[in-house]
Amino acid sequence: MKSIFTLLLLFLVIGKGFAQEDAWVYLTDKSNVAASIANPISILSQKAIDRKQNHNVAIDERDVPVNETYISDLKLQTGITVMAKSKWFNAIHVRGTEEDINALSNLNYVDSIDFANQSLNTASRSASNLNKWEVENETIAFTYGDTQNQVEMINADNLHIADFTGEGITIAVMDAGFPNVNTMSAFQRLRDNSDLLNGYDFVDRNPDVYAFTGNNHGTKVLSTMAAFVQDQYVGTAPDASYYLFRTEDSGSENPVEESYWVEAAERADSLGVDLINTSLGYQTFDNPTYDYTPADMNGQVTYITKGASIAAEKGILVVVSAGNSGATSWQTVGAPADSPNVLSIGAVNADGNYVTFSSQGSAAQVGYQKPDVVARGGAAYVIDEFGGIVQNNGTSFSGPIMCGGIASLWQALPDALPTEIMDFVRQSASQYTTPDDFLGYGIPDLDLARSNALSLDEMEIEAFSFYPNPVATKLNIEIPSTENELKVSIYNQLGQEVMHQLVTEASNYINVSNLASGIYIIKLSTTNNSKTYKFIKSSN
């Protein structure tokens, strides 16, 4: 008996020693940083550079790729499998035994290691496991119909009537797979207009995002924005352009999917997308030692949430489904919907009433409101991979319904910054002055958001002015009569601030004679408003 016990103990020790762990390995530096930033076309697309310039977003070290020499060397380390990489975090997601991963700390280019199993770093976290697909996989009915209610609810139909259908706006969709999107008649219009752009499967590492990988979730999500069936179905942004990225492995739940998502967001940024839509959320995992807790949903803890916040810093408007945990013990929004820098979307039914599965805000989100707003996610109309129009529950569908509506709104307000669009959406919502943890600021009226923004824009245009343009030396600034001073910031074409100054009635000009000739962006800001313009600096 003693020998059997000893043998079992030996097996347990060996099993623990060879257990596979996931971890993020943070690197010390990157190569060719200064040269890459000075020549941004070498690391970003022209569309990405243009978007950053228009939004006053600086190109910085985070845009420079991870050092490939370090990645190659990590792949040679004993017992290590490289799963994903992130230029924003300068990090590599690896898999291996605890011993082999810890051994990486001896490499001179490794700065730190963060295990997904938090007990190997700090205090352990635990929460009950959830099936995040359970609510959404329940088909309520197989029926033909149209999307009138879910489009009208947010008043996107009036945007469409005004010919704002998302044209010129690019959306990256991160999801679990997009079977048959390349052949379905519901997306024929999208293909005919060359609006179905390429994509990538970050899970299987191949460009085919249309193969069936065990889940049709991405196809349904995309349909709420992009599908068009004559007299039967219209998405909220049928004329936007779409990149499709598979980042979710529906057969398992592992933190590596957070890393896949960040990789996809980085790819989206480099391609110059305007919006990211994701109907994914992360809370608990197959391995409970990796689990987050509701208290961790504070916008600061999870890898994916921090990645989503960086995407927002890079000038992308990130729209995230709040989650389907409202009726569970978890209850609060998941990651990355907990980021204060993204627009998190809850769900209501056809009558505009809260549906109990929609994840709620909580005390974990200190100083900011979650969800932000809501759209129809109760019995929403979606199209499955066989072209059937069905009704499904889920914030997975209220999120993209809203995202498409925002794309149409943004087409109407092309000069607006992402943060301004988010504010316009919130301010147009049904309970903006009395938000709560169920509906957030309520149901937006996107056509009202457009009207309010245009009215504000007209007032700003009247209030803010500068001359001459082009300018050689002295740029005169007119200050609104209601203000005592105006903050002026000037950025070059890389989004880098080159000048800043306060102007007053007594000193209402800027000397730009030291600037090189070229195109610059000027941002004029008061306490409550700001506006950006372009001007030309001519030779002295």
Bridge partner list, 45: none
Total length of the chain: 540
d(CA 113, CA 94): 10
* The one catalytic residue among 55, 93, 160, 217: 217
- Tokens representing residue 126 in the block: 């635990």
Q: Render the burial of 228-263: b for 16+ CB within 10 Å, e for the rest.
A: bbeeebbbbbbbbbbbbbbbbbbeebbbbbbbbbbb
Asked if 160 is an active-site residue, the reply is: no
* The one catalytic residue among 36, 259, 396, 398: 396
d(CA 54, CA 262): 23
DSSP string for residues in 77-109 = STT-EEEEEETTTTEEEEEEEHHHHHHGGGSTT
Bridge partner list, 303: none
Bridge partner list, 483: none
- Tokens representing residue 429 in the block: 């919502």
Asked if 396 is an active-site residue, the reply is: yes
Largest CA distance in the chain: 95
Q: Are 441 and 429 in contact (CB under 8 A)?
A: yes
Asked if 217 is an active-site residue, the reply is: yes
Please state, as a whole number, how many other Cβ atoms lie within 10 Å of the Cβ of residue 386: 11
- Tokens representing residue 38 in the block: 């000075």
- Residue 292, C-beta contacts closer than 8 angstroms, at least 6 positions apart: 125, 127, 282, 283, 284, 301, 302, 335
* The one catalytic residue among 175, 296, 338, 447: 175
> Active-site positions?
175, 217, 396
